[in-house]
Chain A
Amino acid sequence: MELFFNQVINGIQQGAIYAALALALVLIFRSNSLLNFAQGEMAMFSTFIAWILADNGFPVVFAILAAMAVSVVGGAIIERTLIRPVGSDNVLAIVIVTIGIFIATNALAGWIYGTDGRVFPRIFANESLVTFGDVTVTQETTGIIAILLVVVGLLYLLFQHTKVGLAMRAVSSNAESAQLVGIRVGRILMLGWGLAAALGALAGSLAAPQLNLSLNLMQGLLIYAFAAATLGGFDSPLGAVVGGLIVGVTQTLAGQYIDFFDGFELGSAFLLILVVLLVRPQGLFGRAVVTRV
């Protein structure tokens, strides 16, 4: 039984990271109605920025915050220069562009940083904080969950209690009407991409200590984040968080108890995506979109 609980706690820690990346996907889906396949690679690139700062002696927390700030600018620039010129009425073309950004970012990172794996410093020690019998909760688990809660709280404040957050929700609800009430939609989209890139930087920096930082740091993570967002509903930030935690726990338990998934945990994410799309395509918290034709 201890094994079970330890795996659940591991899963929650993993899931918190998936949730952060899924939140980034949801932010962009809500503003542009598209899946940003480049989200993971953008996050990997940002994580390298954090690593460089930390490697040059800056405190790791500062390095991550600085990388998030740089990512806000980078995400906004990507929206303005690569996404917007394609035009919002051609979603398929934009998806292709995001795949292009995926490949280009990966190649650029390889060119700048090389293909070696790097050790990314931990913010929180991987040591026991509390134990219940044989069940151990580490400082790292607690810290990562605390960070996720802070992020969710800040996003809630932004969306529900600020004018710019209301404008972001208005743009995702009806971009044309948003323009008609005077919202500068372009700036809101840039902000959305910037915030998503910052969330990606955070997710990457939290994942990197366990996985080691390399060019393919985020590729598996992105699949789990897609599973999380699919499960929670692609237009629901709450869904991204709940979905992330469920996917994390599913992954560790499936790896532990189902022989088929042992060493093939990623399969549980694909299976989850498949089941959700068959049973409840809008996800747990998503809105079913009805299109009149």
Chain B
Amino acid sequence: MTPLLEVADLEAGYGPVQVLRGMSFTVDAGETVVILGANGAGKTTTIRAVSGMIDTKGSVVVDGKSVGGRRPEDIVRLGVAHVPQGRGTFVDLTVEENLRLGAFTRKDDDVAADMDHWYEVFPRLHERRDQVAGGMSGGEQQMLAIARAAMSRPRLLLLDEPSLGLAPIVTQELFRRLQTLNQEQGTALLVVEQNANLALSIAERGYVLEAGLIVAQGTAAELQADESVRQAYLGI
């Protein structure tokens, strides 16, 4: 089976600074994959490279189609949604407008039904649907960001440090929702995280990124058992 996302020899950086130095990884359809790494390892750059936000060298293939050189607004049409770090909500638009924008590329008639679905999953969003997103707490905005990304009915959801700045209990709730999204809708998840414990708990496989290179990979259980991963990322 060809993977849904196949990244090979990816190089990327900002100006003269090279961040990714030839990394390779795959995500299968319906799979949850986590990329662990310290600050500055290149986690955000990886996600931004896949969704077309930065120039890259190497190959990024989604569902058999090369996305190298395509623009973000075209890549989302291939079924890739991106929840950026810091959530990227439209803070001065209402919750409902944020969700409608999530479905911007869709032409089908089920948008309203999907919106109702996400209001059921996240009742807080329903309560606040006519308020501007910027007035909500960080956790609520992160839920909105995920619901908005899911509104495009992606086959692959990219999540950039979803736990950043959230209280532990909120983070746990969020990861449970992500797991449900993965299981019920079959959406593949690629999560980059510093919170390795929680991320590995919902992932099937994982990679460890250090200074722009993949230095370890394996099933979630293997990584949780690996002594060096435990020391570096799990704090045990």
Contacts and interface: CB of A to CB of B under 8 A. Distances in A.
B73 A183 contact: yes
A170 B88 CA distance: 11
A57 interface: no
Interface string A170-193: 100110111111111100000000
Given A166-B100, A182-B77, A183-B73, A176 B93 contact: no
Interface stretch (B34-42, B101-109, B172-180, B188-196): B101-109
Contact of A173 (B72, B90, B100): B90
B205 interface: no
- Tell me if A's interface is mostly helix, strand, loop or mixed: helix
B97 interface: yes
Interface residues of B, number: 24
A92 B62 CA distance: 39
A166 B90 CA distance: 11
Given A177-B88, A179-B73, A182-B77, A169 B93 contact: yes
Interface of B: 51, 53, 71-73, 76-77, 81-82, 84, 88-93, 97, 100-102, 104-105, 148, 152
Interface in A149-203: 163, 166-167, 169-170, 173-174, 176-185
B77 to A, nearest CB: 6
B84 A180 contact: yes
A177 B73 contact: no
A174 B91 contact: yes
Contacts of B92: 173, 287
A2 to B, nearest CB: 45
Contact of A179 (B71, B91, B102): B71
- Tell me if B's interface is mostly helix, strand, loop or mixed: loop
Return the 6 tightest CB-CB contacts between A and B, nearest first. A182-B105, A177-B88, A182-B76, A173-B90, A179-B72, A181-B104
A180 B82 contact: yes
Contacts, number: 62
B84 A177 contact: yes
Contacts of B73: 179, 182-185
Contacts of B152: 181-182
A163 B102 CA distance: 12
A208 B117 CA distance: 55
Contacts of A174: 88-91
B104 A167 contact: yes
A163 B73 CA distance: 16
Contacts of B101: 166-167, 170, 178, 181, 183
Nearest to B92: A173
A173 B91 contact: yes
B114 to A, nearest CB: 14
Nearest to A235: B92
B88 A180 contact: yes
Given A167-B104, A170-B90, A180 B51 contact: yes
A92 B82 CA distance: 31
Contacts of A185: 73
Nearest to A167: B104
A178 B162 CA distance: 19
Contact of B72 (A163, A166, A180): A180
A181 B93 contact: no
A182 to B, nearest CB: 4
Contacts of A170: 90, 93, 97, 101
Contacts of A178: 90, 101
B76 A176 contact: no
Contacts of B51: 180
Contacts of B91: 173-174
B75 to A, nearest CB: 9
A173 B89 CA distance: 9
A163 B107 CA distance: 12
User: For B71, B91, B104, which residue has the most chain A Cβ atoms within 10 angstroms?
Assistant: B104
Given A173-B91, A173-B93, A181 B71 contact: no
A211 B107 CA distance: 49
B104 A183 contact: yes
B208 to A, nearest CB: 26
A178 B84 CA distance: 12
